[in-house]
Amino acid sequence: MINKFSSFKNTLLHNLLNVPGWRTPRKIVVIESDDWGSIRMPSPDVLIGFQKYGHDFTGSIYNQLDTLERNEDLLKLFEVLSSVRDAAGNYPIITANVVVGNPDFRRIRESGFKSYYYEPVTETLQRYPGSSEVISLWKQGIKERIFYPQFHGREHVNVIRWMEALQGGDPGMMFSFDKETTFSGDGDYNYMEVLDYNTPSDLHQMKNSLSEGLELFENIFGFRSKSFIPPCYTWSNEIEETLYQGGVRYIQGLIVQSVPTGQFGRYKYRYHFLGNKNSIGQYYLIRNSFFEPALSAGRDIVGDCLKRINTAFYWKKPAVICTHRINFMGALNRENRTNNLKLFKELLYKITDRWPDVEFMTSDQLGDIISHSVRN
């Protein structure tokens, strides 16, 4: 009885979340995937080193499975994406939300931990074994319309909080730093909440980071990012003007925005619906379906995602699928990539079979359709 009630409650909630906002009779599927380009656990050897040091990663899925993408990860993912097409002949295309930089551990150490420095992701990838072709593969994915980068941040680390922790000199933090990871030594926590400030005065530094990141994104890919996904779905609306000045017209996210209060873990909340527009003319794009097998072991991942897509289409909403890089990574655990790609392929085939008129597109394409329809 309890399970039936819980299932009914979830179904009701999924329906209610799709009621407000922009509508379309078109069966649009957008796949948004976060964290590309960001460091996490560098290698299996480093993971073993942490375990020998005394860290228990039993409840730390990201540190067990997530790492900077390797050439093979992209090749295997592209193979799946290019195996299916919609009725118009389009492949499923991943909106790959990319971090364009990572901490420059050498320069930070040389400064005596007094100053923060970052390196472009192009340099990080050249240093990682097996990742030297990632940039060219990203660009190949753009050309083949299966992988389309958008902006996720200059780096996926809260620079202010991480540097404060390093300056404290905790032995565990120094051990993590020596291994070139931002791992805190506590659970899955890696100082990832980029835009969560301690005081509003931190916003100046965060805005500079966004401006530099957007410029670096354009330098790497040759085009501006029209959309942005705030790391950890946490941001102050005060940064939106900075994003707008850098070319961002659409903000990806969930229905709930976590607004910083100055204390980690305590937030105010704002709610957005698909097609809502802020005061400066940016539109919010809302995720309503999920493909996260690495984070949801034992669940019917494909079945649940299909149910959510069906609910979205029932309410005449695009299906915006949320997924993360971790699901497709194999350098730390090859079975993670192999098993999840099988599930992903199954999902894509079932989508095209169940909805033959489905249209695959990117986040910015959906944003353009929404903005044009609203203006007209």
- C-alpha span between 44 and 326 (Å, rounded): 15
- C-alpha span between 43 and 158 (Å, rounded): 22
- C-alpha span between 328 and 334 (Å, rounded): 9
The domain tally of the chain equals: 1
Angle at 34 between CA 347 and CA 320, to 5 degrees: 50
Tokens of 186: 């506590």
Running DSSP on this structure, what letter comes out for residue 187? T
On whether residue 12 sits in a domain, the answer given is: no
The band of 374, judged by pLDDT with boundaries at 50, 70 and 90, is confident
Q: Is pLDDT above 50 for 304? A: yes
On whether residue 5 sits in a domain, the answer given is: no
User: In angstroms, how far is CA 307 from the centroid of its own chain?
Assistant: 22
User: In angstroms, how far is CA 141 from the centroid of its own chain?
Assistant: 17
The band of 5, judged by pLDDT with boundaries at 50, 70 and 90, is very low
On whether residue 19 sits in a domain, the answer given is: no
* Alpha helices (H) in the chain, listed in sequence order: 2-18, 44-53, 61-65, 71-81, 105-110, 121-127, 134-143, 159-167, 171-178, 203-221, 240-245, 301-314, 334-354, 363-375
Q: Environment class of residue 13 by beta-carbon count within 10 Å: exposed (0-12), middle (13-18) or buried (19+)?
A: exposed
Structural domain range at position 131: 26-375
Q: Contact 33/325 with Cβ under 8 angstroms?
A: yes
Tell me what percent of the residues of the chain surpass a pLDDT of 90.
89
SS3 234: strand
Cα dist from 251 to 13, 317, 351, whole Å? 23, 17, 25
- C-alpha span between 272 and 304 (Å, rounded): 23
On whether residue 2 sits in a domain, the answer given is: no
Residue type, 74: L
On whether residue 359 sits in a domain, the answer given is: yes
Tokens of 353: 């079979």
373 phi and psi, to 5 degrees? -70, -35
Cα dist from 277 to 32, 247, 373, whole Å? 20, 16, 13
Each residue's pLDDT tens digit, 195-245: 999 999 999 999 999 999 999 999 999 999 999 999 999 999 999 999 999
Q: Contact 39/181 with Cβ under 8 angstroms?
A: yes
Contacts for 154 with CB less than 8 Å, ≥ 6 apart:
99, 100, 101, 118, 209, 210, 212, 213, 216
Q: What is the mean pLDDT of the chain?
A: 95
Q: Contact 296/303 with Cβ under 8 angstroms?
A: no
On whether residue 7 sits in a domain, the answer given is: no
Q: Is pLDDT above 50 for 4? A: no
The band of 37, judged by pLDDT with boundaries at 50, 70 and 90, is very high
pLDDT attached to residue 6: 54
Q: Is pLDDT above 90 for 297? A: no
Cα dist from 78 to 137, 253, 292, 294, whole Å? 9, 25, 18, 19
Each residue's pLDDT tens digit, 329-370: 999 999 999 999 999 999 999 999 999 999 999 999 999 999
Domain at 70, CATH number: 3.20.20.370
Q: What number of CA atoms fall less than 13 Å from residue 12's CA on the CB side?
A: 6
On whether residue 4 sits in a domain, the answer given is: no
Q: Is pLDDT above 70 for 2? A: no
On whether residue 20 sits in a domain, the answer given is: no
Tell me the average pLDDT across 108-132: 98
